[in-house]
Amino acid sequence: MTSIATGEGQAAAFIAVDHCSAECMGIHASAAATRHEALEPVWQGVRRSFGAFGKDVATGLKIRHDHGSQYMSRDFQRELRFLGAESSPAFVRAPEGNGCAER
């Protein structure tokens, strides 16, 4: 997630990036930076890559994220497990993942 200043105030932009190809897999902007908003680009990427959305459809996928409250929340982690994806928190003080998204 990154914040963007707009004419109407701050907006949160959530981005899912394929770290192998650097391709944007999903993007979602919102005035609220909630854990549910953070899931939208993940869902977009899962649909795009696996052609469907459902239990265990993304088995083997690793989701790299920072230690932000949205990504560490019980709801976000539960959704990753439902999809069959593995949570892969970045190392503390390693902002490279956010840098890829912001680029």
Q: What is the pTM of this model?
A: 0.85
Q: SS3 for 63?
A: strand
* Cα 64 to Cα 89: distance, rounded to the nearest angstrom: 5
Statement: residue 10 has pLDDT above 70 = yes
**pLDDT single digits (tens) 32-47:** 899 999 999 999 999 9
Helix ranges restricted to H, 9-54 = 35-50
74-83 and 35-50 helices, crossing angle to 10° = 10
pLDDT tier at 97, thresholds 50, 70, 90 = low
pLDDT tier at 12, thresholds 50, 70, 90 = very high
Q: What was the pLDDT predicted at 22?
A: 84
Q: Which helix (H) or strand (E) holds 99?
A: helix 96-102
Statement: residue 79 has pLDDT above 70 = yes
